[in-house]
């Protein structure tokens, strides 16, 4: 059994549920048949298991350290990244004319999923580099693309995203890093960035930092932020990294998880001039960053899902092997003890993990399909795909981060004392996963984005599109006697969502309307996942040969997980949405004094 992937489930999602081999608008997956996709996934799985997985525990125990002004990297990181590069994987999702393989976003995401599940700390370096290169391709000049993006795509250089500052984390409006024109199209940058992932090391001959900063006289707030390309080393006339560019590593954060990925405080322009180049138009930096954020946020949800998956698979095996106690009603101590999985409460925790992880993965795959469709669509169709993706982005980032983290907690619980020790990886999966709720916009910020902006966009058309898709599945399921109850429950849940949305839209006091935005985000995510479970149950039903005397346990397991989500999780959405609908002000009204008193 693989620790890092459930290939049967991937096949189910790709070929049975989402049918990627079918003709799609824009021929999104033309040329990618089942055989080729299987081959790509096989190769990735093998490489991830051989090169990434073995060092996952040792890297966590002995992460990079700060010495002599730089991050000293454990050799395992360099070796694994070299294997990834030698397999041509950094370029996989880039166009063929740039040296890439042109893999659709969805396939590249699933290929990367193997490396993420095997060792997220190492996978982060290439994920960040690919995101930075993609941003340069979208907004950079021809020269910036050729001189900087191409070596990143080839896996020779790496990249970072430098947004956060000590006084500006969630509130990017308050960043203060400055960029002064320095002649010949360059800018001199000065300021401090913190929490920067993937910087400060000497594993590649250059690192390309994408830095948010303000030009002189820039408007206050987010409308005055520009984006700059800042190399760790300046390029000589031949385009080779040469002179140091004074991007100084001040120290590394000592993190709870994902400990093999460096996390840096970087000073720009303090040790000497730091030169950078403007990317795109002045004051449009945040727009460029956010252009990439949607994909980055699907990526975060996918990382959270992979953490949940590895915990689920590990704890499931443990529950099959560890014997403890006897089933209720069987007290005879002379009879053998039974495996943990025989106990209903253990099965509850396994089913909860399965429902969260496989539900979340279906959501990630659905959003990745939309990204690919967006690349191929035009006109009205493009507008609709984009809107749908806008509404789903805070959900795909946040629901897996919340519920697959809970899955990791259950994995530990299943293992009792063993789950609490470093002898097993599940506590590490939990620690690694905990970050996903924090970066790329915290849970609270995603919630305000969803309820304050996304569901209002284009007069709520994005939400309408989503509800229409959900109702189409409800229509199909209500025809099936064994699924009709779930179909009706989902329709009822949509009515709670609509009522809560209408109440907030009708509230003049914005602060009050958004006071329970996080509950709304969680409830809407739970409803979206219920939709995807109902859809999976329909597909499982279709895949099961009707006349078989031996039902397929995999397909039956799908149905059990669907039942679990509908009976145990979906009802929580009602409580959350009734607080939103009632514009409950318990949290808004309590004063700081009242909280501080005592």
Ligand X SMILES: Cc1cc2nc3c(=O)[nH]c(=O)nc-3n(C[C@H](O)[C@H](O)[C@H](O)COP(=O)(O)OP(=O)(O)OC[C@H]3O[C@@H](n4cnc5c(N)ncnc54)[C@H](O)[C@@H]3O)c2cc1C
**Residues 6+ positions from 33 with CB-CB distance below 8 Å:** 21
Q: Which is nearer to ligand X, 151 or 159 (CB)?
A: 159
Which of left, alpha, beta for 19 (phi over 0: left; psi -120 to 50: alpha)? Answer: left
382 vs 438, beta carbon nearer ligand X: 438
DSSP 8-state secondary structure symbol assigned to residue 256: S
Nearer to ligand X, 177 or 374 (CB): 177
Smallest distance from the beta carbon of 176 to ligand X, in angstroms? Answer: 14
SS3 of residue 177 by DSSP:
coil
The distance of closest approach from Cβ of residue 508 to ligand X in the complex, given in angstroms and rounded to an integer, is 19
Quick one: 94 or 195, whose CB is closer to ligand X? Answer: 195
Task: Give Cα separations from 27 to 23, 258, 377, 382 (angstroms).
Answer: 6, 37, 10, 14
CB of 516 to ligand X, least distance (A): 12
Q: Which stretch binds ligand X (CB under 6 A): 40-48, 184-192, 341-349, 438-446?
A: 438-446
Task: Give the contact letters, 416-435, x = binds to ligand X (CB under 6 A), - = no.
Answer: -------------------x
Among 109, 162, 340, 362, binds ligand X (CB under 6 A): 162
Q: Which of 159, 169, 308, 462 is in the footprint of ligand X by CB under 6 A? A: 169
Which C-beta is closer to ligand X: that of 175 or that of 319?
175
Q: Which of residues 231-270 bind ligand X (CB under 6 A)?
A: 255, 263
Report whether 325 contacts 337 (CB < 8 A): yes
| List 154, 438, 503, 583, residue binding ligand X (CB under 6 A) | 438
How far apart are alpha carbons 580 and 574 in whole angstroms?
Answer: 10
In the complex, minimum distance from the CB of residue 97 to ligand X, in angstroms, rounded to a whole number:
29
Structure-token pair, residue 103:
């893999």
Minimum CB distance to ligand X smaller for 296 or for 455: 296
Question: Residue 58 interacts with ligand X (CB under 6 A)?
Answer: no
- Residues contacting residue 130 through CB under 8 Å, at least 6 positions apart: 90, 93, 94, 152, 153
The smaller minimum CB distance to ligand X, of residues 58 and 167, is found at 167
CB of 190 to ligand X, least distance (A): 17
Ranked by CB distance to ligand X, the top (closest) residue is: 169
**What angle is formed at CA 511 by the lines to CA 508 and CA 514, rounded to 5 degrees?**
95
- Shortest distance, position 129 Cβ to ligand X, whole Å: 12
Q: How far apart are CA 308 and CA 175, in angstroms?
A: 34
User: By C-beta, is 438 or 499 nearer to ligand X?
Assistant: 438
**Angle value at C-alpha 259, between 257 and 264, nearest 5 degrees:** 110
Helix (H, G, I), strand (E, B) or coil at 190: strand
- The CA distance from 260 to 121, in Å, is 5
If DSSP codes are grouped into helix, strand and coil, which group holds residue 209? strand
Q: Which is nearer to ligand X, 155 or 169 (CB)?
A: 169
Q: Does 164 bind ligand X (CB under 6 A)?
A: yes
Identity of the residue, 255 or 302, whose beta carbon is nearer to ligand X in the bound complex: 255
Binding segment for ligand X (CB under 6 A), chosen from 10-18, 155-163, 385-393, 481-489, is: 155-163
Residues 6+ apart with CB under 8 A from 75: none
Which of 131, 136, 161, 537 touches ligand X (CB under 6 A)?
161
124 binds ligand X (CB under 6 A): no
Residue 285 is a binding residue for ligand X (CB under 6 A): no
Residue 78 CB neighbour total at 10 angstroms: 15
Q: Counting contacts by CB under 6 A, is residue 445 touching ligand X?
A: yes
Site size with ligand X, rule: CB under 6 A: 17
**In angstroms, what is the minimal distance from the CB of 103 to ligand X?**
24
Q: Pick the stretch among 38-46, 144-152, 164-172, 408-416 that binds ligand X (CB under 6 A).
A: 164-172
C-alpha distances out from residue 110 to 45, 117, 565, Å: 10, 11, 24
Q: Which is nearer to ligand X, 209 or 576 (CB)?
A: 209
Asked if residue 225 binds ligand X (CB under 6 A), the reply is no
Location of structure tokens 């890439």:
100
Would you count residue 444 as binding ligand X (CB under 6 A)? yes
Using the minimum distance from each CB to ligand X, give the nearer residue, 163 or 493.
163
Q: Where are the alpha helices (DSSP H) in 267-326?
A: 285-321
As a 3-state breakdown, the chain gives helix, strand, coil percent values, each rounded to 5, of 60, 10, 25
Min separation Cβ 476 and ligand X, Å: 38
The DSSP output letter for 74 is P
- Tell me, residue by residue from 183 to 212, as one string, x for binding to ligand X by CB under 6 A and - for no binding: ------------xxx---------------
Give the CA diameter of the chain.
Answer: 86
* Residue in this structure with the two tokens 């915290």, named with its chain if needed: 442
367, 18 contact by CB (below 8 A): no
Q: Which residues contact 545 (CB under 8 A, 6 or more apart)?
A: none
Residue ranges binding ligand X (CB under 6 A): 161-164, 169-170, 195-197, 255, 263, 435, 438-439, 442, 444-445
């Amino acid at each position: 059994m693989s620790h890092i992937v459930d290939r049967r489930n991937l096949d189910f999602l790709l070929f049975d549920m989402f049918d990627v081999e079918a003709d799609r608008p824009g021929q999104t997956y033309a040329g990618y048949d089942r055989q080729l996709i299987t081959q790509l996934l096989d190769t990735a799985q093998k490489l991830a298991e051989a090169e990434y997985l073995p060092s996952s525990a040792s890297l966590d125990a002995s992460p990079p350290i700060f010495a002599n002004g730089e991050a000293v990297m454990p050799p395992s990181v360099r070796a694994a990244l070299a294997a990834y590069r030698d397999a041509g994987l950094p370029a996989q999702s880039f166009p063929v004319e740039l040296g890439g393989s042109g893999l659709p976003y969805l396939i590249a995401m699933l290929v990367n999923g193997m490396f993420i599940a095997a060792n997220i700390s190492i996978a982060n370096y290439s994920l960040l580099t690919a995101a930075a290169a993609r941003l340069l391709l979208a907004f950079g000049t021809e020269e910036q693309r050729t001189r900087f993006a191409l070596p990143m795509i080839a896996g020779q250089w790496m990249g970072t995203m430098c947004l956060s500052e000590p006084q500006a984390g969630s509130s990017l409006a308050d960043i203060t890093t400055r960029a002064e024109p320095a002649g010949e199209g360059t800018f001199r940058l000065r300021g401090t960035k913190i929490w920067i992932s993937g910087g400060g090391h000497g594993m590649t001959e250059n690192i390309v930092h994408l830095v948010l900063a303000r030009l002189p006289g820039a408007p206050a707030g987010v409308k005055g932020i520009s984006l700059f390309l800042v190399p760790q080393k300046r390029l000589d006339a031949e385009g080779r990294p040469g002179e140091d560019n004074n991007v100084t590593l001040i120290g590394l954060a000592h993190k709870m998880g994902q400990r093999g990925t460096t996390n840096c405080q970087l000073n720009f322009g303090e040790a000497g001039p730091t030169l950078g180049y403007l990317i795109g138009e002045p004051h449009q930096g945040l727009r460029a960053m956010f252009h990439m954020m949607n994909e980055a946020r699907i990526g975060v949800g996918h990382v959270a899902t992979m953490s949940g998956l590895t915990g689920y698979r590990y704890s499931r095996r443990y529950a099959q092997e560890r014997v403890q106690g006897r089933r209720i009603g069987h007290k005879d101590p002379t009879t053998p003890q039974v495996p943990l999985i025989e106990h209903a409460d253990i099965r509850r925790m396994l089913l909860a993990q399965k429902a969260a992880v496989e539900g979340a993965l279906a959501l990630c795959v659905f959003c990745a399909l939309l990204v690919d469709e967006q690349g191929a669509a035009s006109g009205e169709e493009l507008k609709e795909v984009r809107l749908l993706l806008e509404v789903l982005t805070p959900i795909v980032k946040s629901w897996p981060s919340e519920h697959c983290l809970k899955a990791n907690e259950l994995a530990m619980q299943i293992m009792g004392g063993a789950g609490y020790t470093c002898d097993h990886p599940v506590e590490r999966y939990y620690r690694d996963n905990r970050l996903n709720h924090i970066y790329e916009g915290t849970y609270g910020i995603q919630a305000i984005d969803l309820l304050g902006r996304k569901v209002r966009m284009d007069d709520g058309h994005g939400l309408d599109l989503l509800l229409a898709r959900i109702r189409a599945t409800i229509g199909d399921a209500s025809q099936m006697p064994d699924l009709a109850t779930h179909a009706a429950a989902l329709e009822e849940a949509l009515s709670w969502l609509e009522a809560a949305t209408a109440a907030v839209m009708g509230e003049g006091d914005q602060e009050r309307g958004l006071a329970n935005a996080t509950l709304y985000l969680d409830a809407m995510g739970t409803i979206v996942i219920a939709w995807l479970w109902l859809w999976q149950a329909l597909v499982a039903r279709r895949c099961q040969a009707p006349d078989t005397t031996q039902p397929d346990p995999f397909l039956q397991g799908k149905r059990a997980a669907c039942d679990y989500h509908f009976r145990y999780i979906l009802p929580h959405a009602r409580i959350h949405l009734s607080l939103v609908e009632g514009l409950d002000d318990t949290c808004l009204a309590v004063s700081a004094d009242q909280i501080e008193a005592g």
